[in-house]
Every structure is written in C-alpha cells, then in structure tokens.
C-alpha cells in the first residue's frame, strides 16, 4: 500500500469567517481569486457545496495556451468551519476555517500527486490561497460586514 504525502498551506485573512466562507464557496467569487499567478484566471466555476455535491473550477492561461478543470465531490461540509472533498483523481483535501479576534485562519491539507515535486505543489496551492486572501480582504475592506449566502 502506497503512503500518500500530505502537504499543508495556510493564510490569515483579515475578515470574519462568514465572509471568508462565502468568498471561498460562491462561484461568482471563486472566479475572481482562483489562480496561482496573474497570467492565469478562472473563467468559470460551479459549486454545489453539500456532502455529495460536485464542483468544477476552470483554470486557464490568459493567453489561451493551457487550461484545466479542477473537479471533485464534497465529502463533509460544516459551514463555516470545515470542508472535506475528494478531487476527481482520488486525492483528499481538508480545509479548516478558524475565526480568531476578527480574522480567519484558513488551513488546507491536501494529498500530493506524483507528477510534480511536493515543493512545487505546495508553492502552487499556497499561491492560490494567497490570491484568495488578497481578494477576500479587498472585498471585506470595501464592505466591512460579513457576506452571507
């Protein structure tokens, strides 16, 4: 039996958990932050955030040279504190949203794939999470009240 490598990334976001949750799960927000670098974007996203629900987020190079769908199924959803899902290739992911004194810590654990180095994967996932942080904080600072679905 093969042991899978689990990687961790995290950010501290200056916004309440409700805002962070909404920005992470609402497709209209996902398309605004879901990229690892400025030369990529997320032209479409669908998200059925419930156990057994599916998601699909398209990531594409802005120059049209590459794209892929990041897809999977939710295993556990506990709004606004926990999401567990399985990516289409069978890897498991866990996200925890922990509110502390007006900010939210997002911790993400994911099973590494075997194509890219663990360091490269961790950098990529951290870059996406950093993009999420930047977007969510700018959203919250422009309307400093929790967003709710």
Q: Which pLDDT score, from 0 to 100, does residue 3 have?
A: 72
What is the rounded CA–CA span in Å between residue 22 and residue 9? 20
Q: Which pLDDT score, from 0 to 100, does residue 145 have?
A: 57
Burial class (CB in 10 A: 0-12, 13-18, 19+), 79: middle
Q: Which two tokens stand for residue 70?
A: 């990041």
Answer yes or no: are the C-beta atoms of 93 and 87 closer than 8 Å: yes
The helix or strand, by DSSP H or E, that contains position 148, with its residue range, turns out to be none
Answer yes or no: are the C-beta atoms of 119 and 13 closer than 8 Å: no
DSSP 55-69: EEEEEEETTSS-EEE
93-126 residue pLDDT tens? 999 999 998 899 999 999 999 999 999 999 999 9
| List of domains in the chain | 6-142 (3.30.530.20)
How many helical (H) and strand (E) elements, i.e. helices and strands, does the chain have?
3, 7
Per-state percent for the chain, helix, strand, coil, to nearest 5: 30, 40, 30
Please compute the mean of the pLDDT values over residues 83-94 and round it to a whole number: 98
Binned at pLDDT 50, 70 and 90, residue 149 comes out as very low
Q: Which pLDDT score, from 0 to 100, does residue 146 have?
A: 54
132-147 residue pLDDT tens? 999 999 988 776 555 5
46-67 residue pLDDT tens? 999 999 999 999 999 999 999 9
Q: Which of 12, 15, 25, 16 is nearest to 53 (CA)?
A: 25
Q: Which pLDDT score, from 0 to 100, does residue 128 have?
A: 97
3-state SS, one letter per residue, for 72-88? EEEEEEECCCEEEEEEC
Q: Model-level pTM greater than 0.75?
A: yes
């Amino acid at each position: 039996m093969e042991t899978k490598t689990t990687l961790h990334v995290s950010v501290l976001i200056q916004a309440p958990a409700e805002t962070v949750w909404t920005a992470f799960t609402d497709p209209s927000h996902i398309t605004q932050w879901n990229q690892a670098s400025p030369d990529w974007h997320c032209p479409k996203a669908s998200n059925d955030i419930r156990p057994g629900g599916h998601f699909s987020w398209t990531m594409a190079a802005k120059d049209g040279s590459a794209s892929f769908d990041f897809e999977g199924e939710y295993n556990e959803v506990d709004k606004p504190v926990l999401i567990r899902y399985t990516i289409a290739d069978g890897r498991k992911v866990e996200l925890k949203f922990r509110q502390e004194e007006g900010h939210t810590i997002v911790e993400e654990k994911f099973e590494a794939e075997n194509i890219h180095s663990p360091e490269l994967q961790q950098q990529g996932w951290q870059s996406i999470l950093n993009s999420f942080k930047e977007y969510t904080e700018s959203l919250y600072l422009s309307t400093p009240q929790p967003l709710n679905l």
